Amino acid sequence: MGTAGPDFESIHRSFRPRVLRYVTRLVGSQDAEDLTQSVMLKVSAGLPGFRGDSSVSTWIYRIATNAAADWLRGRPRAASSDLDFGPDESEVPPDRVDSSAETTAVHEEMNACIRDFIERLPPDYRAVMVLSELEGFKNREIAAITGVSLDTVKIRLHRAREKLRRELEAGCNFYRDERDELACDRKPAVVTFRPRT
């Protein structure tokens, strides 16, 4: 007799917060709660047939990625301010949390700046960037999650990073603050006025 697979209650407890964070980063916060509920229902329905061909986390993130892709195809793009690519407080070690309001404001501005540019990436690029840079998956796991080849993941990551780097350089002034940490100021938009004829 084989061993019993993971039970839904423990999966729900362990993965629901991660799925919510992930889909929020892909589609924005407005519909993330409903989308997470949908993902967890699909996980519950699919669990009896889960054969363990991949890890549970890869399987769940694949369901979440597909659900987010379906949502993005059927909805207008979210406003950039609705997306959340910043770290959760729970992800920041206590010794790294700084209570300085000024430092917090600088970091929030930088996160907002980067978040706006990540949101502009095409959905396929955005997904691999979030999975790699923010969720910590290896390229092979990203390939399994997204259902594309390892080479395609590498290409998308390379192109996404290059596109992000170019857009950040064009739209932000980066500098080192007094703590020698990277910070940025948005470059002012150039407005050109045409004389009336």
Alpha-carbon Rg of the chain, whole angstroms? 19
Distance, in Å, from the CA atom of 152 to the CA atom of 168, rounded to the nearest integer, reads 24
Q: How far apart are the first and last CA of the chain?
A: 85
CATH number of the domain located at residue range(s) 7-83 in this protein: 1.10.1740.10
Domain extent listing, the chain? 7-83, 98-188
The domain made up of 98-188 has a fold known as Arc Repressor Mutant, subunit A (1.10.10)
Q: Assess contact for 83 and 164: CB atoms under 8 A.
A: no
Q: Do domains 7-83 and 98-188 have the same CATH topology?
A: no
Phi then psi for residue 172, to 5 deg, are: -135, 145
Q: Which residues contact 163 (CB under 8 A, 6 or more apart)?
A: 121, 125
Indicate the DSSP class of residue 82: G
The Cα 189–Cα 9 span in angstroms is 50
**What per-residue confidence (pLDDT) applies to 96?**
41
* Residue pLDDT tens, the chain, 197 long: 444 567 889 999 999 999 999 998 888 888 899 999 999 999 999 999 988 888 999 999 999 999 999 998 886 544 433 444 444 443 334 444 444 555 555 556 556 666 677 777 888 899 998 898 888 899 999 999 999 999 999 999 999 989 888 887 887 776 666 766 656 677 776 555 566 65
